Amino acid sequence: MAGMNILATGSCLPERTVTNEELSHSLDTSDEWIRSRTGIAARHIAEGQTTAGLAAQAARCALKKAPAGFDVSEIGLIVCATITPDDHTPGCACQVQKELGLDGSVLAFDVNGACSGFVMALQIALSMLEDGQTALVIGAERLSSILDWSDRSTCVLFGDGAGALLVQKDSRRCVKAYARTLPDKADLLRAPASGAIAMKGSGVFRFAVKAFSEIYEHCVETEGPLKNRPDAVICHQANLRIMEKACRSHGLGMDCCFVCLDHTGNTAGASIPIALDEAISSGFLQRGMDTLLTAFGSGLSMAGLYFRY
């Protein structure tokens, strides 16, 4: 697949932080249980903010960091990964298009790929762009709106937020992409239209570790100009133990794996772009590093992308 140049990243986390300790007041749980099983210490919960509002704020944040001279009118495509849009239609991407004052020459649409959605959205954007054209690719979620706050086995895992990337298609660079969905495993993780997220946690855990390996084999351990060992790994931020087990199985130390779920929880489609933004802002991810994005989620689905940042 022809490659990409990430021009800028941005993210937006709602102001309100809910700690494990706070959850233990209303649920039969504890900071120790949540932290030791998942690595999560806190999550952000939107109060009075919409999914499109979070998405637009992440997009503005990315635009502020764009290279000098970049104009918002250079965006030709907006793709937003979300399973929690404010409305069935128009989609979140269309609302961001309006918020940013972009005219009708721009195409905007949403992708429903759950936690793999952002990587899928990036793959779709790259396949639609011509060389040199720019897309705004967003992941935005308000998962708090589809949680059963009395179900301790799910609600402690998730959070709200948004992340955005300004990406330019660059055919001189190489990107390795992989994605697939497994409908026979769909029952392990569902969020019905009129209900809350329900999950068989241990089955999803096992799938996630296998999905990492499958993505790694297809994207990293194949011929091409990129290194056969990534400098940086940005996993879907669902569970620290999943990341540790997956990295260990390929001989990767956790020093190459970026972790921010301690303060975000699992933000589904928003998790990878938030992690990318934080990895870049903190200096963890530097230009020239061969970087692997790996995601898994409902569907069940998996999606990966390997590129040089």
Active site residues: 115, 236, 266
Contact assessment for residue 242 and residue 205, using Cβ atoms and an 8 Å cutoff? yes
Contact assessment for residue 258 and residue 103, using Cβ atoms and an 8 Å cutoff? no
How far is residue 267's CA from residue 139's CA, in Å, rounded to a whole number? 9
Strand segments, DSSP code E, in 45-159 are: 75-81, 107-111, 134-142
> At closest approach, how far in Å is the CB of 31 from ligand ACO?
10
Site pattern 258..297 for ligand ACO (x: CB under 6 A): --------x-x----------------------------x
> At closest approach, how far in Å is the CB of 128 from ligand ACO?
24
> At closest approach, how far in Å is the CB of 168 from ligand ACO?
29
Contact assessment for residue 166 and residue 8, using Cβ atoms and an 8 Å cutoff? yes
Residues 6+ apart with CB under 8 A from 267: 139, 141, 143, 158, 159, 160, 161, 237, 274
Number of residues that bind ligand ACO (CB under 6 A): 23
Site pattern 111..150 for ligand ACO (x: CB under 6 A): ---xx-----------------------------------
Binding segment for ligand ACO (CB under 6 A), chosen from 30-38, 94-102, 121-129, 132-140, is: 30-38
Regarding 57 and contact with ligand ACO (CB under 6 A), the answer is no
Residue from 60, 65, 152, 245 touching ligand ACO (CB under 6 A): that is 152
Residues 6+ apart with CB under 8 A from 63: 8, 10, 70, 72, 100, 166
- Interface residue list for ligand ACO (CB under 6 A): 29, 33-34, 37-38, 114-115, 152-153, 156, 189, 199, 201-202, 204-205, 208, 238-239, 266, 268, 297-298
